Structure 1
Amino acid sequence: MLNVLLNWYRRRFSDPNAVTLFWLLVGGFAVIYFYGDILAPVLAALVIAYLLEWFVQRLIKIGLGRSSATTLVLLVFIGLMLLIGFGILPAVFRQGMTLVKTGPVMLANGTEYLKKLPQHYPDFFDASLVDSITAVIQDRLVNNSGVLVSFSFTSLMNIAVVLVYMVLVPLLIFFMLKDKEHLLLMMKRFLPNNRELANRVWLEMNDQITNYIRGKVIHILAVSAANYVVFAFMGINYALLLGISVGCSVLIPYIGAVAVTIPVTVVALFQWGLSSDFAYLMLAYAIVQTLDANILTPLLFSETMNLHPIAIILAVLVFGGLWGFWGVFFAIPLATLVKAVVNSWPGSTRTEASIGSY
């Protein structure tokens, strides 16, 4: 057994470039795992810098200097964020508070409906089971009400942190974009010389991460806008809140679409009941979801379509459990990184015939 392990180690780690890549990956994962909370503004700034780099490059091509292009792009970005912050978010917050206030009424109507089911369908529903379900729902509501109160106080305590981030993150973005080449050269000075394999993986992942972040932002905006238009046209309550919720659900592949369908269905049922309006809304919602899954998502993320759905779900669960929001956001690029490392690792290549034999 020991000889087998030693042979495997020599075969996989005989190349110094592979050892360098291994320790770089271990070090990077360890830093983010143990210091992720401290580095949160740096990670947020890095993501936004990746997003804005495309616009900076376009302005440089038309003759602007990098400093001027960075300043212009960052000012436009801050203006858009202020527009969203003062124009859209207050309306979303108001709709969210209204929905929270009407939650107990919706729950009461739902429990009353459940209690009537054994009377109308005695062969399918047991009265004691329905009573148990309603008791559990009411108990969870009482517990969650306390959680909401504590969450509101916690949110007030975090306002100072948000204000600091509002100043710190734009500064980080500006210097990441303005001094990009200098920062990359400075980082290379601390890397080992045997980094050919690491450079190859980095070049492959750099383009994919850039395309992924830009595509994900476009995806969220497009899905939010499309669902808001459908909800507003159909006249459902909380159209803006639900539309943005559906858009943000694309951050979690497969799972998010299922989870966000529940509040959409509950709000529609509470507003219309089992009527034709409810059926039309759910049909329109299903059409939008189908167009997103079959047209928009493959168009924006064609490079990630080679990942199996099970691999994507596992990546969301594993990396989300390790790093929370950022793990979920970067689940697909991280899964792609694992795949790229496995494919590039010495001794891991397979012929097409051997792959096809599985």
Structure 2
Amino acid sequence: MQFTPTQKRAATWCAIAALALLLLWLLAPVLTPFVVAAVLAYALTPVVNRLDALGQGRLPRVIAVLLVETLFLVLLLSLLLLIVPILAKEIPLMREQVPVLADRLNAGLTPWLAQFGIHVSLDVASIKAFVLKYLNANFEDAFGSLLSSLKLGGSVALAIVGNAVLIPVALFYLLMDWELFVARILELVPPHLRTAYDSFTDEADSVLGQYLHGQLLVMLAMAAFYAIGLALFRLDLALPIGIFTGLAMFIPYVGFGLGLLLALLAGLLQFASVKALVMVAVVYGLGQLLESLVLTPRLVGERIGLHPLAVIFALLAFGQMFGFVGVLVALPASAVLLVAIRRLKVSYMASRLYTV
């Protein structure tokens, strides 16, 4: 069987793509920090370039890079530190409220289940002892437990620490020489494909820019909504939990779920009544409707064109390949892949294989 030159080229490119995917899968643990740094560098390079232009050559690029990266790391740490006041408030409340909640649960649940012929009796004393044992532990005990956990999962801890160090370093060098890296990649593109390459990168830049801008607006709007909504129910930790929930939505579904659990826990400990359930149902139910039906479709959805099922698949696939950080880059990377798939579809439908 004879193959045409077009078919040979197509088979060659398919083999190259398959080999690239295989290498990507095999080297995923090594590539993870570089992929994350590359995505961050892509998003932060315009800010560095703008600072560089404002300096009119008098400000060294290294200063602009250090300023932008430092500001980004400070914002990221600020988001993580929102958990600190939540824990500082909740742990003392848990010492006080968990025994009370256990008594109420046993008093209310046992008679209700008895109506259906289910006889259950909670060992409230054991529950109280178990919870208070860990909540009353001093710092030395907690630190010792942490060290023993790190020994058991040493490879995991080493990977986390390694990525935490390597990603900022890789980000620094990528921000310094981003234009050089792009130029080197452009040199590998054959001259007759430069027009198609430029068209693809321009479309990908447009889609990613719109996605990042729209996602940022959604996060800020939802942070304000959740903080105000929880404050209307007089939740003491409304501000940190609301802001954390909104900003953590850059991780689809995961950020929302964490915020919901924190709000539910804080509500149960503060109100110790059904008011906590009502608060979470109203605020987070309305918030999900607002985000899903109004904000995301208008500010993000149509701009990248990803179906909700495609979003879920992308999160699972990138999470499987790159772990937790893969979830962070799933949607931007999927937006670029979507541009490539659209172009392949157009090329295929215009080819002789489709028209025959």
| TM-score, normalised with respect to structure 2 | 0.69
Answer yes or no: is 1:179 the counterpart of 2:172.
no
Answer yes or no: is 1:126 the counterpart of 2:126.
no
Shift of 1:105: 6.3
Change in CA separation of 1:88 and 1:306 when aligned onto 2, cut-off 3 Å: closer
Shift of 1:280: 5.1
Shift of 1:330: 2.5
Q: For structure 1, which segment, 303-312 or 91-100, has the greater mean C-alpha deviation from structure 2 after superposition?
A: 91-100
Which structure 2 residues correspond to residues 239-250 of structure 1 after superposition, within 5 A? 239-247=238-246, 249-250=248-249
Shift of 1:67: 6.8
Which structure 2 residues correspond to residues 268-307 of structure 1 after superposition, within 5 A? 268-274=267-273, 279=278, 282-303=281-302, 306-307=305-306
Q: What secondary structure sits across from 1:235 in the alignment?
A: coil
Answer yes or no: is 1:38 the counterpart of 2:30.
yes
**Which whole-Å deviations, capped at 9, do the CAs of 1:89-133 have from their partners, x for residues lacking one?**
5553243355356557665555444432231464357224x759x
Change in CA separation of 1:16 and 1:81 when aligned onto 2, cut-off 3 Å: same
Amino acid paired to 1:328: V
Question: 1:124, 1:66 → 2: CA distance?
Answer: 79
Question: 2:19, 2:58 → 1: CA distance?
Answer: 34
Answer yes or no: is 1:99 the counterpart of 2:90.
yes
Shift of 1:78: 1.2
Shift of 1:152: 8.0
Question: 1:21, 1:211 → 2: CA distance?
Answer: 31
**Which whole-Å deviations, capped at 9, do the CAs of 1:196-243 have from their partners, x for residues lacking one?**
666655443343334434544554454335423443554324445523
Partner of 2:208: 209
Amino acid paired to 1:349: M
Q: Is the 8 A contact 2:32 2:322 kept in 1?
A: no
Amino acid paired to 2:115: D
Amino acid paired to 2:349: T
Q: Is the 8 A contact 1:234 1:281 kept in 2?
A: no
Partner of 2:67: 75
Question: 2:100, 2:13 → 1: CA distance?
Answer: 62
For CA contacts below 8 A with separation 6 or more, give which structure has more relative contact order: 1
Aligned-pair identity in percent equals 22
Shift of 1:18: 7.5
**Which whole-Å deviations, capped at 9, do the CAs of 1:148-179 have from their partners, x for residues lacking one?**
9448853998599759945x545543442342
Question: 1:201, 1:272 → 2: CA distance?
Answer: 55
Change in CA separation of 1:261 and 1:223 when aligned onto 2, cut-off 3 Å: same
Amino acid paired to 1:185: A
Amino acid paired to 1:14: Q
Shift of 1:253: 3.1
Q: Is the 8 A contact 1:208 1:303 kept in 2?
A: no
Question: 1:81, 1:259 → 2: CA distance?
Answer: 21
Question: 1:68, 1:229 → 2: CA distance?
Answer: 43
Answer yes or no: is 1:316 the counterpart of 2:315.
yes
Question: 1:344, 1:122 → 2: CA distance?
Answer: 63
Q: Specify every segment of 5 or more residues in structure 2 that has no aligned partner in the other structure, as ranges.
A: none
Q: Is the 8 A contact 2:244 2:259 kept in 1?
A: yes
Question: 2:142, 2:298 → 1: CA distance?
Answer: 40
Q: What secondary structure sits across from 1:37 in the alignment?
A: helix
Question: 2:326, 2:64 → 1: CA distance?
Answer: 31
Number of residues of Structure 1 aligned to a counterpart in Structure 2: 338
Partner of 1:3: none
Question: 1:62, 1:97 → 2: CA distance?
Answer: 43
Change in CA separation of 1:56 and 1:288 when aligned onto 2, cut-off 3 Å: same
Change in CA separation of 1:328 and 1:72 when aligned onto 2, cut-off 3 Å: same
Shift of 1:297: 2.0
Partner of 1:343: 342
Shift of 1:182: 1.7
Change in CA separation of 1:222 and 1:64 when aligned onto 2, cut-off 3 Å: farther
Q: What secondary structure sits across from 1:343 in the alignment?
A: helix
Question: 2:79, 2:330 → 1: CA distance?
Answer: 28
Q: Specify every segment of 5 or more residues in structure 1 that has no aligned partner in the other structure, as ranges.
A: 1-5
Amino acid paired to 1:71: I
**Which whole-Å deviations, capped at 9, do the CAs of 1:250-300 have from their partners, x for residues lacking one?**
244346535642442233133214455763564344333333333332343
Change in CA separation of 1:207 and 1:315 when aligned onto 2, cut-off 3 Å: same
Q: What secondary structure sits across from 1:53 in the alignment?
A: helix
Shift of 1:75: 0.9
Q: Is the 8 A contact 1:265 1:282 kept in 2?
A: no
Amino acid paired to 1:268: G
| TM-score, normalised with respect to structure 1 | 0.68
Question: 1:82, 1:256 → 2: CA distance?
Answer: 19
Question: 1:165, 1:172 → 2: CA distance?
Answer: 11
Q: Is the 8 A contact 1:220 1:248 kept in 2?
A: yes
Amino acid paired to 2:38: L
Question: 2:13, 2:191 → 1: CA distance?
Answer: 9
